[in-house]
Amino acid sequence: MDRVEKERLFLADGRSIGFAYAMIIPPFIGQEVIRSAGQIADEKGYVKVRDTYQAAGYDNVYAVGIAAAVDVPWHTATPVGIPKTGFPTERMAHVAARNIAAQIRGEQPESHEAFGDMPAVCVMDAGNNGVIILADKMLPPRKHGVLIPGPQAHAMKLGFEKYFLWKARHGYVQLP
């Protein structure tokens, strides 16, 4: 990115992108320890994974959540990474846990779920406001999706936080 002017973002390669509303976020960058690990990570420091969440070429190494590099159809066309919030991270972790258990039992890991095919369930909190995001898939093409803005998103986030902490304090890990 070179500069931002009114309703236009100028990229370092000379291209520009028009906008009516924009939010500029620094790129997601993986940990230095992973970036320096060689072939296990991509150039940004994310572990290259299959949809079993095993590292490409390393069947005994798993990565989920923000540590995992996932296939994104427009990856080469956009300069940003893909954040992975609580819901998809939990889905990835369940797949990885089932596969780790299978390997411990001497079986082949068979559980898989592609990031793009997971349902999108997100509550973004922004102070006293926010947005609830619901869609049949994380990535396009989607059959349906809805954004619900409003203060209820903030209330939901507070309620979820209280529920999660209560559940964790009492050891009810099997509850949703």
pTM: 0.72
In degrees and rounded to multiples of 5, residue 59 shows phi and psi of: -65, -15
Reported as a single tens digit per residue, the pLDDT across 114-168 is 988 999 888 888 888 888 989 999 888 889 999 999 999 989 888 988 998 999 8
Q: Which domains does the chain have, with CATH numbers?
A: 27-117 (3.50.50.60), 119-176 (no CATH)
Q: Is the predicted pLDDT of residue 77 greater than 70, yes or no?
A: no
Collect all residues with Cβ–Cβ distance below 8 Å to 52 and sequence separation of at least 6: 95, 96, 99, 109, 110, 111, 112
- The tens digit of pLDDT for each residue in 4-27 reads 999 999 999 999 999 888 777 766
Phi-psi category of 53—alpha, beta or left, where left has phi over 0 and alpha has psi -120 to 50? left
As a whole number, the mean pLDDT across the chain is: 85
Predicted confidence band of residue 80 (pLDDT cuts 50, 70, 90): very low
